[in-house]
């Protein structure tokens, strides 16, 4: 059965909603008087198509059909969900709802993207107030899962449950606020931080970059995976949340902030916070929470490292700082020396087979850099492509194991580069990886000879390594190993 959503207002938020619905298999109808709406939504959709499917390890639904309409009456016909994302003017929103409700199905959910208005304000002049709820998203809507679903006593239980089900089916999380408040929950936090940041700038304490660095290199990473109270529960140690409040609660009375209207930490409030924290996180010990936190932080920071951004950019700089000196060509070249990170292990508790490929690939990259095929060379149009790989998994590795990849250049002449990697933990051989690479022109995408300085360096390394003992396994095809019962 075809599901249909209508987007009223196709700006950044409306375009994000359109992309989320469309890529989750819904047909989407858009109404926006802006003559550039189709182009703008198309550009948002291009970004969503590039990124959203990467969150899933299974096939996405078939993309729905997108259409643009000149009237609200035409756009809302037959829609199950109507998302209003017009500018934050209450009079405009109410006018839109009156038009919507003249033409839409009485059973359709009408959600508002408003970041500030309460649902009771939106329902004020509506023909059917029970149909209208706040469904406040976060940008980019096609990636971030949180939806603040704010309702009033006028919304019946069946509509609320249907709204929750639809939001969940889109891969999003409906945070249901049963008691309305201006700006809901999340934006009130953001507003408090924003106001404090403005004072820090005005008073000459910090720059915009320094404030952003304070967030992205510190508590922003912790909040990104544990939120506020679970983070503070861990900070309280084995004594828990009550201990944290007793230790740091008095700070709220100190004149640190411009926002000094702070609730009194009565025994009743402390008990309420501690009880809710127990219900939220009490199933885990503090040590377990610490390990969960550490796992998440490593995964997040490593993801940032691949993008060379935020805390990940710091990690890249530190890696370069710790790089070894020029290698001795009379020995295999150590191209990787590192610990197995937490996110490299699988359901068997040992290093995932794909990570061996990654480690050997990292070794190849480092070898390429050593012979002169570095970032500058690649930027100027030359590189090596892997043509064939053979990996032998000899023994298992666990998270934290310190591995070393030693690389031998078996052949380095013309367009070809033949490498043999051996992975060790201490003296224990755990895997080998053999790779044949071909030099290519990135302009023609065809095989080509490398630059003279690379050809010369590669020949020098290959000649030196020809004198080394030949490791067992070079040139081996897949072998059949007998398994005893």
- 57 pLDDT higher than 80: no
Lowest-pLDDT range of 5-14, 53-62, 99-108, 130-139: 53-62
Q: What class, spelled out in words, does domain 327-466 have in CATH? A: alpha beta
56 phi and psi angles, rounded to 5 deg? -105, 145
**CA dist., res. 331 & res. 411, Å (int):** 16
pLDDT given at position 261: 65
Residue 102 clears pLDDT 50, i.e. is over it:
yes
Average pLDDT over the chain reads: 89
List 389's β-bridge partners, or say none: 435
User: Of 244-253, 272-281, 445-454, which one has max mean pLDDT?
Assistant: 445-454
Question: Which pLDDT tens digit goes with each residue over 330-376?
Answer: 899 999 988 888 788 888 888 999 999 999 999 999 999 999 999 89
Distance of CA 137 to the CA centre of its chain: 17
pLDDT at 307 over 80: yes
Mean pLDDT along residues 240-265: 69
Tokens linked to 233: 């529960």
Q: What is the pLDDT of residue 85?
A: 95
- pLDDT band at residue 484, thresholds of 50, 70 and 90? low
Instruction: Give the pLDDT confidence of 388-428 residue by residue, as tens digits.
Output: 999 999 999 998 889 999 999 999 999 999 999 999 999 99
Instruction: Report domain extents, the chain.
Output: 4-177, 188-291, 327-466
The model's confidence at residue 485, banded by pLDDT at 50, 70 and 90, is very low
Q: What confidence score (pLDDT) does residue 349 get?
A: 83
pLDDT in tens, 204-245: 888 888 988 998 888 888 888 888 888 888 888 887 788 787
pLDDT of residue 170 exceeding 70, the answer is: yes
> In the prediction, which pLDDT does 455 show?
94
**182, 187, 190, 194: CA torsion to nearest 10:** -50
What pLDDT score does 237 carry? Answer: 83
454 is in an annotated binding site: no
Q: Specify whether domain 188-291 bears CATH 1.10.1040.
A: yes
What pLDDT score does 91 carry?
A: 93
How high is the pLDDT of residue 120?
95
Side-chain-side CA neighbours of 130 within 13 Å: the count stands at 11
Q: Is residue 254 very low, low, confident or very high in pLDDT (cuts 50, 70, 90)? A: low
Higher pLDDT pick, 388 / 322: 388
Average pLDDT over residues 464-472: 93
Residue of 47 and 327 predicted with greater confidence: 47
This prediction's pTM: 0.73
224 is in an annotated binding site: no
Higher pLDDT residue, 461 or 59?
461
Mean pLDDT of 7-36: 94
Fold designation for 4-177: Rossmann fold (3.40.50)
Is 349 annotated to bind a ligand? Reply is no
SS3 string of 54-98? HHCCCCCCCCCCEEEECCHHHHHCCCCEEEECCCCCHHHHHHHHH
Q: Shortest CA distance to 241 belongs to which of 251, 229, 253, 250?
A: 229
Looking at residues 144-169, what average pLDDT do you find?
95
Is 426 annotated in a binding site? The answer is no
pLDDT of residue 257: 63
């Amino acid at each position: 059965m075809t599901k249909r959503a209508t987007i009223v207002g196709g700006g950044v938020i409306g375009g994000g909603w359109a992309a989320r619905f469309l890529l989750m298999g819904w047909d989407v109808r858009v109404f926006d008087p802006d003559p550039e709406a189709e182009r703008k939504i198309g550009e948002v959709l291009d970004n969503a198509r590039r990124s959203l499917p990467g969150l899933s390890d299974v096939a996405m639904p078939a993309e729905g059909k997108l259409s643009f309409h000149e009237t609200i009456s035409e756009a809302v016909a037959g829609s199950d969900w109507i998302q209003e994302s017009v500018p934050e003017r209450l009079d405009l929103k109410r006018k839109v709802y009156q038009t919507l409700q003249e033409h839409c199905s009485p059973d359709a959910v009408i959600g508002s993207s408003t970041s500030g208005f309460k649902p009771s304000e939106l329902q004020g002049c509506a023909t059917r107030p029970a149909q209208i709820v706040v469904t406040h998203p976060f940008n980019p809507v096609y990636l971030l899962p949180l939806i603040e679903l704010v309702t009033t006593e006028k919304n019946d239980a069946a509509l609320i449950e249907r709204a929750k089900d639809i939001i969940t089916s889109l891969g999003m999380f409906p945070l249901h606020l049963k008691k309305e408040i201006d700006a809901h929950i999340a934006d009130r936090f953001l507003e408090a931080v924003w106001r404090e940041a403005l004072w820090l700038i005005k008073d000459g304490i910090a720059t915009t970059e320094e404030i952003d660095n304070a967030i992205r290199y510190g508590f922003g990473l912790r909040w990104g995976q544990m939120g506020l109270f679970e983070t503070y529960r861990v900070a309280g140690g084995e004594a828990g949340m009550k201990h944290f409040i007793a230790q740091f609660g008095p700070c709220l009375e100190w004149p640190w902030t411009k926002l000094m209207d702070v609730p009194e930490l009565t025994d009743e409030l402390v008990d309420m916070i501690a009880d809710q924290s127990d219900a939220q996180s009490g199933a885990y010990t503090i040590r377990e929470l610490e390990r969960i936190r550490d796992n998440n932080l490593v995964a997040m920071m490593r993801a940032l490292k691949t993008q060379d951004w935020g805390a990940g950019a710091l990690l890249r700089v530190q890696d370069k700082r710790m790089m070894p000196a020029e290698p001795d060509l009379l020995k295999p070249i150590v191209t990787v020396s590192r610990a197995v990170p937490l996110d490299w292990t699988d359901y068997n508790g040992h290093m995932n087979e794909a990570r061996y490929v990654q480690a050997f690939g990292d070794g190849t990259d480092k070898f390429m850099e050593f012979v002169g095929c570095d970032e500058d060379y690649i930027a100027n149009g030359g590189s090596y492509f892997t043509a064939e790989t053979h990996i032998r998994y000899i023994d298992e590795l666990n998270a934290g194991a310190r591995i070393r990849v030693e690389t031998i250049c078996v052949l380095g002449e013309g367009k070809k580069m033949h490498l043999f990697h051996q992975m060790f933990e201490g003296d224990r051989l755990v895997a080998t990886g053999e790779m044949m690479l071909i030099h290519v022109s990135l302009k023609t995408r065809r095989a080509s000879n490398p630059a003279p300085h690379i050809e010369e360096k590669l020949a020098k390394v290959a000649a030196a390594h020809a004198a080394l003992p030949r490791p067992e396994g070079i040139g081996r095809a897949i072998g059949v190993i007998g398994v005893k019962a």
